[in-house]
């Protein structure tokens, strides 16, 4: 790098990163310089081979730092070997089937077919892959060269450290994959049985006070023998006393237990190293921990006798009922956590019933009001309002569309149900605005808030709605109120995100100008940021309404009424026609609202 002092006021730093290929390839410049030149001119023939790329593509690519090619070469070779491994896997099966050829005609045909096709694909993948690598190596390398010229971070030259890294990658990826390809699918229960056997043996070791399985086995077999002998002697007695009979059935039970322990221990010893390996590495992720389940507690709200006696008639109290644990039940981490969550929901529900009931009440009341507004307003009035809105804000075409959609709802007698859906959407949207707007503003203004809110919003947007319908029911009962909650969770993220985006998009210079004329933070928000964010906020509102409508179907699963209920009912009764018509009605409602809102948005965004 050198500094050329310009004659003008500015100084320029000139980078010596060179035009010459040599600085890039470092080694074998004589080979690459003419090749790169040919590539630049578009004259390098496709059949031209880089011999290293042909023979050891991943080694060459790693050494030169051409990582894209390294991964492609590795993938191609592993793919080819995996195909060839299928031949290895099926050949013994074929031989086994051929031992009894008459009975296994279909099996033989199937196995030989597989062996043949996998073999062919494997060989072709290996040869064609290598040829392609050989002829593409120089092209990849040239691509890397052009990137390197503008970006110092791109690898250049020859570096053996990269080869070591590549070797580690290959060692991690290739052997296990290839080994897995050569094996039959593991028995699903095999691994669980292994774990259980291990647990039993651990318990037995503790019980018998020995530290090694080798010592345990003779003890177990001796005990089984003792019990068998005692049983035999009891069996031999022809007229047994009452006590002897009791003893005999007791021994029978013990003997069964002892034999089971013995066989489990023997099984455990018999598990081969390879089976253990298979269970740990090539099947499902191994179960790492099996723990005691959480305490089985139920919280129940019961009448509080003392308080009732004291005069408070509706008094309740929460009691805690602990159930006896199931003997020997151990669970994995997933089950432990899910049961703990169940318990906490139960706890919250029992202890804070008042709060949840109050929320449910407010939701239900507001829903009833809005439903009344939609359903008891005479249909000519509602349709007139819709048509008038679309006439005022959109064009003729949209108005015709809105009118025909309304006609569809009316003629198919879906009017009342559609209005129920509308009521749900309106209430949910109102909550979304009331909550989403302030949160969005907060998120735009505060970095900490952004860091906290963003992942929560992402979860809200992506978590399957069916998975939070259950807790919603637990807290808010069934029918409309939990449906509103579920809808709000699903539909609020765009409102929040687009409000924040709109506010953050206000140019710094505009805000600076407002400040320069003496604006306070509040005035800045009210007179500059919010008005300028309105197009974005309206886009968020639009999306929120669309999401709320799509949620209307799902929330029918927890008893929300409306068009969604028709869809879910038709799902239960396998009535395709009913479901399709109701679905179409939802789509039409959504499109009507969307078109009208778009018109309103357009009239806002004159700026």
Partner 1 sequence: MSEAVVEIDGVWKVFGERAKDAMDAIRTRGLSKADVLDEFGAVVGVKDASFRVGEGEIFCLMGLSGSGKSTLVRHINRLIEPSAGTIRVLGDDIGKMKPDALRAVRGTKIGMVFQNMALLPHRSVRDNIGFALELRGMDAYHRSKLADQALETVSLHGYGDRLPSELSGGMQQRVGLARALAADPEILLMDEPFSALDPLIRRNLQDEFLGLSANLKKTTVFITHDLDEAIRMGDHIGIMKDGEIVQIGTAEDIVTAPADDYVADFVAGISRLKLVSAAKIMVPLDKYQSKRGPLDMSQDHPVARPEDDLDTLVGLSTHSELPVLIKADGDTIVGVVDKNTLLRGLQGSAEE
527 contributes a contact to partner 1 by CB under 8 A: yes
Provide, rounded to whole angstroms, the least separation between the CB of residue 176 and partner 1. 45
CA-based nearest residue to 187, from 107, 92, 282, 268: 282
Query: Interface with partner 1 includes 606 (CB under 8 A)?
Result: yes
**Cβ–Cβ under 8 Å, residues 524 and 514:** yes
| Residue 9 touches partner 1, criterion: CB under 8 A | yes
Segment lying near partner 1 (by CB under 8 A), choices 6-14, 124-132, 139-147, 339-347: 6-14
Q: Which of 513, 576, 580, 602 binds partner 1 (CB under 8 A)?
A: 513
Report residue 45: phi and psi, to 5°.
Answer: -65, 145
Does residue 90 contact residue 115 with C-beta atoms inside 8 Å?
yes
The nearer residue to partner 1, 112 or 519, going by C-beta atoms, is: 519
Does 534 bind partner 1 (CB under 8 A)? Our answer is yes
Taking alpha carbons only, the member of 124, 161, 162, 136 closest to residue 72 is: 136
Give least dist CB 394 to partner 1, A: 22
How many residues touch partner 1 under the rule CB under 8 A: the total is: 23
Please report how close the Cβ of residue 535 comes to partner 1 at its closest, in angstroms: 10
Question: What's the first-to-final CA gap in the chain, in angstroms?
Answer: 49
The radius of gyration of the chain's CA atoms, rounded to the nearest angstrom, is 37
- Checking 161-166 for CB contacts under 8 A at 24+ apart, the result is 162/62, 162/63, 162/65, 163/59, 163/62, 163/63, 165/62, 166/58, 166/59, 166/61, 166/62, 166/70
201: nearest Cα among 214, 188, 187, 186? 214
- Please state, in angstroms and rounded to a whole number, the distance separating the CA atoms of residues 258 and 210: 17
Residue 3: its H or E element: strand 2-5
515 binds partner 1 (CB under 8 A): yes
Binding residue for partner 1, selected from 188, 235, 292, 512, defined by CB under 8 A: 512
Binding of partner 1 by 531 (CB under 8 A): yes
Pick one of 517, 572, 574, 577: the residue that binds partner 1 (CB under 8 A).
517
User: By CB under 8 A, which span of 98-106, 387-395, 524-532, 592-600 interacts with partner 1?
Assistant: 524-532
Least distance from partner 1 to the Cβ atom of residue 360, Å: 41
What is the per-residue DSSP string for 297-352? EEEEEEE-HHHHHTT-TT-EEEEEEEPPPPTT--EEHHHHHHHHHHHHHHHHHHHS
Q: Measure the CA–CA gap between 403 and 388, rounded to whole angstroms.
A: 10
Measured from the CB atom, the residue of 337 and 510 that comes closer to partner 1 is 510
What is the nearest approach in angstroms of partner 1 to the Cβ of residue 602? Answer: 15
Nearer to partner 1 among residue 285 and residue 517 (C-beta): 517
Would you give the binding string for partner 1 spanning residues 463-502, x where CB under 8 A is met? ----------------------------------------
**Min dist. Cβ of residue 437 to partner 1 (A):** 18
CB of 33 to partner 1, least distance (A): 39
Candidate ranges 8-16, 158-166, 369-377, 497-505; the one touching partner 1 (CB under 8 A): 8-16
By CB under 8 A, tell whether 518 contacts partner 1: yes
Of the pair 340, 605, the CB lying nearest partner 1 is at 605
Minimum CB separation of residue 7 from partner 1 in Å reads 8
Mind giving me the DSSP string for 500-561? HHHHHTS-HHHHHHHHHTT--HHHIIIIIIHHHHHHHHHHHHHHHHHHHHHHHHHHGGGT--
Q: Closest approach of Cβ 440 to partner 1, in Å?
A: 18
510 forms part of the interface with partner 1 (CB under 8 A): yes
Q: Cα–chain-centroid distance for residue 142?
A: 39
Tell whether residue 10 is a contact of partner 1 (CB under 8 A).
Answer: yes
Using CB under 8 A as the binding rule, whether residue 507 contacts partner 1 is answered as: yes
Paired with 316 in beta bridges are 303
Tell me the window of 92-100, 178-186, 505-513, 554-562 that interacts with partner 1 (CB under 8 A).
505-513
DSSP string computed for 120-168: HHHHHHHHHHHHHHHHHHHHHHHHHHHHHHH-TTS--S--HHHHHHHHH
Q: Which is nearer to partner 1, 255 or 600 (CB)?
A: 600
Give the span between the Cα atoms of 267 and 199, in whole angstroms. Answer: 13
Contact between 509 and partner 1 per CB under 8 A = yes
Asked whether position 516 contacts partner 1 by CB under 8 A, the answer is yes
Minimum Å gap between C-beta 444 and partner 1 is: 17
- List of residues contacting partner 1 (CB under 8 A): 8-10, 507, 509-510, 512-520, 523, 527-528, 531-532, 534, 606-607
């Amino acid at each position: 790098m050198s500094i050329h002092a310009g004659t003008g006021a500015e100084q320029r730093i000139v980078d010596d990163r060179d035009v010459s290929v040599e600085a890039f390839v470092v080694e074998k410049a004589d080979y690459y310089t003419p090749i790169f030149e040919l590539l630049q001119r578009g004259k390098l023939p496709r059949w031209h081979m880089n011999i290293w790329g042909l023979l050891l593509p991943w080694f060459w690519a790693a050494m030169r730092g051409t990582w894209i090619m390294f991964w492609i070469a590795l993938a191609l070779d592993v793919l080819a070997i995996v195909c060839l491994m299928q031949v290895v896997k099926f050949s013994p099966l074929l031989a086994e089937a051929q031992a009894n050829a008459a009975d296994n005609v279909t099996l033989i045909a199937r196995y030989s077919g597989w062996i043949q096709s996998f073999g062919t694909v494997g060989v072709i993948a290996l040869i064609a892959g290598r040829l392609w690598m050989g002829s593409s190596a120089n092209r990849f390398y040239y691509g890397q060269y052009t990137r390197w010229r503008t970006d110092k971070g791109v690898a250049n030259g020859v570096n053996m450290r990269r080869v070591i890294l590549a070797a580690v990658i290959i060692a991690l990826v290739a052997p296990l994959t290839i080994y897995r390809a050569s094996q039959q699918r593991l028995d699903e229960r095999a691994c669980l049985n292994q774990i259980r056997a291990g647990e039993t043996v651990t318990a037995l070791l503790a019980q018998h006070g020995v530290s090694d399985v080798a010592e345990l086995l003779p003890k177990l077999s001796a005990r089984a023998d003792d019990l068998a002998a005692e049983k035999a002697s009891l069996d031999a007695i022809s007229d047994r006393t009452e006590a002897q009979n009791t003893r005999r059935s007791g021994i029978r039970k013990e003997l069964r237990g002892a034999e089971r322990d013995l066989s489990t221990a023997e099984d455990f010893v018999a598990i081969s190293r390879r089976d253990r390996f298979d269970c740990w590495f090539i099947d499902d992720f191994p179960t790492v921990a099996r723990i005691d389940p959480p305490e089985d507690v139920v919280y129940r709200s019961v009448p509080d006798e003392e308080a009732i006696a004291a005069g408070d008639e509706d008094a309740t109290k929460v009691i805690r009922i602990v159930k006896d644990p199931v003997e020997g039940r151990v669970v994995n981490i997933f089950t432990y956590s899910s049961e703990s969550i169940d318990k906490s929901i139960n706890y919250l529900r029992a202890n804070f019933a008042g709060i949840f009931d109050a929320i449910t009440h407010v939701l239900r009341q507001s829903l009833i009001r809005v439903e009344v507004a939609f359903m008891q307003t005479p249909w000519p009035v509602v349709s007139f309002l819709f048509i008038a809105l679309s006439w005022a804000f959109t064009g003729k075409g949209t108005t015709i569309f809105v009118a025909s959609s309304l006609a569809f709802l009316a003629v198919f007698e879906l009017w009342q149900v559609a209005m129920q859906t509308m009521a749900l959407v309106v209430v949910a949207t109102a909550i979304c605005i009331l909550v989403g707007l302030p949160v969005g503003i907060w998120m735009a203004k505060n970095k900490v808030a952004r860091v906290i809110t963003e992942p929560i919003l992402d979860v809200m947007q992506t978590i399957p709605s069916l998975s939070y319908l259950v807790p919603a029911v637990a807290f808010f009962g069934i029918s409309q109120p939990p449906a509103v909650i579920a809808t709000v969770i699903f539909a609020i993220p765009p409102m929040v995100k687009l409000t924040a985006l709109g506010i953050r998009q206000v140019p710094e210079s505009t805000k600076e100008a407002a400040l320069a004329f003496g604006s306070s933070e509040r005035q800045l928000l009210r007179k500059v940021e919010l008005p300028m964010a309105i197009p974005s906020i309206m886009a968020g509102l639009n999306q929120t309404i669309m999401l709320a409508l799509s949620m209307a179907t799902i929330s029918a699963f927890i008893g929300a009424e409306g068009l969604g209920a028709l869809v879910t009912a038709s799902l239960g009764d396998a009535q395709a026609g009913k479901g399709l018509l109701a679905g179409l009605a939802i789509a039409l409602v959504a499109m009507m609202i969307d078109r009208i809102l778009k018109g309103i948005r357009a009239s806002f965004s004159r700026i």
